[in-house]
A and B are shown apart, each in its own frame.
Chain A
Amino acid sequence: MNYAGIDIGSRTIEVVVVNDYSDIICSLQADTGFDPIAEALKLFYAVEERGIKYESIMATGYGRNLFEIAYANLDPVSNSKKLNLTANCSAITEIKAHARGVAAFFPNAATILDIGGQDSKAIALNKNGRVKKFEMNDRCAAGTGKFLEIMARTLGFTIDDFGKEALLAQNDLTINSMCTVFAESEVTSLIAKGSDRREIAKGLHISVMKRAVSMINRIRAEQYSDLIVFTGGVAKNECMVKLISEKLCCDVLVPDNPQMIGALGAALIALEQQTCKTSKLYG
């Protein structure tokens, strides 16, 4: 049997399907767009088109509860051809999902930093990979992927190049505002003053790094190992990884596909819940 995990974030949606042996047999991604539920369902259509079946779905990410409700209320007539409506769908938070997903690749990870589109979080794990403590950014976008995206745009970089360009800066430059709105005007006035774009970019990365590091420090005291794993879209940013690792004086590991970790963790938990049920039945 197979099990699906879906991570509905503010920027992207990922679906991962695993089999009974926890192997990933399918992994897909799409932009969230304006209608997250419709996009999420499209990903499942795509899974089905590949002939892949799944027993259950575990949803995570900010859209998890909405998806759970929407899935339970799908119109059977218009969907039965495209979707397996007998799969049962439940939801867990992205915190639990990331903890599980990271454990699959790095069983010794003690700390997770996850920076996504609108959230950033630091998670402390205990030895058996369970969540011990976590911190989340408050309601504003400061320190999240959204912040970096807006700033990249203001500076005329693409989000993919933003980190690379920042790494090329000769000097550090300090950005004082953490608030997206104020930082944007600070950046605009730095551009007007003729400051180097890469240096401004580096300064912005440093300010996000500081926030992430202080979040990590709040939960990391007395952790049994140094190992930090960085997930979420922002983990693809080389400059951010380098800055955080330098500041904390330890390696920061990034999984191959850091955006898939939440969906993978959700799929693995779906699998484990099923196994747990079955063993209760027969054991």
Chain B
Amino acid sequence: MSDYTQMWRDLGLNLEAHDMLLNVLGNAYKDIYLSQKNRPEGMGYFDFVMSEVHGLRIKELIDEKAQGRKIIGSYCVFVPEEIALAANATLVGLCSGADFAIEEVEKYLPRNTCSLIKSAFGFKLGKVCPYLESADMVVGENTCDGKKKAYESLGSLITNLYVMDLPQMKSEQGKALLKGEYYRFKEAVEKLTGVKITGTSLKNAIKTVNAKRSAIHRLSELRKADPSPISGLDALLANQVFFYDNPARFTESVNKICDELEKRIQDKQGAVPAKTPRILLSGCPMAVPNWKLPWIIETSGAVIVGEESCVGERGTRNLVDESIFNLLHNAGDGVNESSIDDNQIIDKMMDAITDRYFKVDCAIFTPNQERLNHIVEMAQNYKADGVIHYSLQFCQPYIMESIPVDKVLEDKNIPTLRIETDYGMEDAGQLKTRVQAFIEQLG
């Protein structure tokens, strides 16, 4: 590993605290990931990415910046990567998966705030996140009340915070609001980078992000096999790295793993023995390094076969409709940037982008029947023996929704376990008992 100390210092990180974080992260990764058996060889790539998550990848971003690209950080899957890419910017997810600087955080946030929001503040206040510190723009979004109000305070800590408004209902008005916000975001990004989005650049961006999602879809499809060719932890990691990595390289690496998994399936080789109880995990996003619950599940004799989560299928479901590109060809070369045609084409693409994101069934929407349907559908498609619903403590939207989720699954005779937890390890023993008892119940 190279020495990145100077780079971290230049970014203004608190080196001592940062060392501490890397240490914790490294140990957790070793205990949770590297101790797994029968991992696909292709996971070596992700091991490397994780070992360099604050190193090489940050250096790449800094190099991109030196060449005039801008870095945009985001906290939610509603922020469209396509728009960032089309305007010569790179979008990175800001993970918020660990507690940090808790006492400092509680000067800004009430104690009963979810771990994710607290963590976002902790990483800023502790000066330990190189992604956050290298970002030229940080996008917050009006989703749950917690985040909405938290961004008001976060604005005093992050000067380049941009807040995106989001609808709460899946109505025509809601969709118009989302499209309007995506246009406003487009202008903000264009202003930041000084690069105007063209039909061609937006088309290429859509293709890049669709390819990344398709690779994940392919991976998910392969997890339907019994025995599952990959552990849930490893698949979760791929879904987590989705948010940081260079998109093209990510797509290539995931596809490579998929080739390997296809072979494994042919050879009836699994990450776990056949007939291992299969779990669908549903609920709040799981950001790096929040691996606690998946780890407990998979060390209790079960395998996770799908994540109904924003770091998972809720975040990656559906592609942006590419049939729109035919129009582009019909309109000629499409490179004529100043023509009215190009604006019309861009508008059509903005519609297609809006359509795709508008389908994300986050619990902040009301009503949200689509999510219930998707959970049942996923449980059936991935042949899950049971569903574990995971909510972060104090996350009102997902905790509230867990009750109808439980009901709808019970009606379908799918066993369900509801878990409420946070990033701390104090409840690990109790969680283990619950999860083990649930798995016994399935067996």
Contacts and interface: CB of A to CB of B under 8 A. Distances in A.
A219 to B, nearest CB: 11
Contact of B437 (A62, A65, A93, A139): A93
Interface in A93-143: 93-96, 119, 130-134, 136, 138-139
B433 A93 contact: yes
B359 interface: no
A92 interface: yes
A93 B440 contact: yes
B420 interface: yes
B433 A95 contact: yes
B440 A92 contact: yes
Given A62-B433, A136-B434, A131 B426 contact: no
Given A138-B420, A139-B427, A94 B433 contact: yes
A136 B440 contact: no
Nearest to A66: B429
A11 to B, nearest CB: 16
Given A139-B426, A139-B427, A131 B432 contact: no
Nearest to A132: B441
Interface in A57-80: 62, 65
Interface residues of A, number: 16
A95 to B, nearest CB: 4
A128 to B, nearest CB: 13
B6 interface: no
A179 to B, nearest CB: 14
A65 B436 CA distance: 11
A139 B421 CA distance: 10
A136 B430 contact: yes
A65 B427 contact: no
Given A95-B433, A131-B441, 18 more contacts: A62-B433, A65-B432, A92-B436, A92-B440, A93-B433, A93-B436, A93-B437, A93-B440, A94-B437, A95-B440, A96-B437, A131-B437, A133-B415, A133-B441, A136-B430, A136-B434, A138-B427, A138-B430
Interface in B385-443: 415, 420, 426-427, 429-430, 432-434, 436-437, 440-441
A27 B440 CA distance: 26
A99 B388 CA distance: 21
Interface of A: 62, 65, 92-96, 119, 130-134, 136, 138-139
A92 B429 CA distance: 14
A260 B434 CA distance: 21
A68 B440 CA distance: 17
A228 B441 CA distance: 20
A96 B440 contact: yes
Nearest to A92: B440
A93 B434 CA distance: 8
Contacts of A119: 430, 433
Contacts of B432: 65
30 contacts: A62-B429, A65-B432, A92-B436, A93-B433, A93-B436, A93-B437, A93-B440, A94-B433, A94-B437, A95-B433, A95-B437, A95-B440, A95-B441, A96-B440, A96-B441, A119-B430, A130-B441, A131-B440, A131-B441, A132-B441, A133-B415, A134-B437, A134-B441, A136-B430, A136-B433, A136-B434, A138-B427, A138-B430, A139-B426, A139-B430
A136 to B, nearest CB: 6
A216 B420 CA distance: 19
Contacts of B433: 62, 93-95, 119, 136
B310 to A, nearest CB: 25
Contacts of A92: 436, 440
B59 to A, nearest CB: 41
Point out which of A92, A96, A130 has the most chain B C-beta atoms below 10 A from its C-beta. A96
**What are the 10 closest A-B residue pairs judged by CB atoms, nearest first?**
A95-B437, A93-B437, A131-B441, A96-B440, A139-B427, A93-B436, A93-B433, A136-B434, A139-B430, A93-B440
Nearest to A221: B410
Contacts of B427: 138-139
Contacts of A134: 437, 441
Contacts of A131: 437, 440-441
B174 to A, nearest CB: 34
A18 to B, nearest CB: 20
A94 B437 CA distance: 8
B104 to A, nearest CB: 24
A241 B321 CA distance: 63
Contacts of B441: 95-96, 130-134
A130 B442 CA distance: 10
B5 to A, nearest CB: 39
A261 to B, nearest CB: 15
A138 B429 CA distance: 11
B283 to A, nearest CB: 16
Contacts of B426: 139
Contacts of A133: 415, 441
Contacts of A132: 441
Nearest to A131: B441
A95 B415 CA distance: 16
A279 B225 CA distance: 31
Contacts of B440: 92-93, 95-96, 131
Nearest to A95: B437
A247 to B, nearest CB: 23
Contacts of A93: 433, 436-437, 440
Contacts of A65: 432
Nearest to B434: A136
Contacts of B415: 133
A147 to B, nearest CB: 16
Nearest to A138: B420
A205 B193 CA distance: 66
A65 B299 CA distance: 12
A4 to B, nearest CB: 19
Interface string B312-356: 000000000000000000000000000000000000000000000
A8 B437 CA distance: 16
A132 B415 CA distance: 8
A96 B429 CA distance: 17
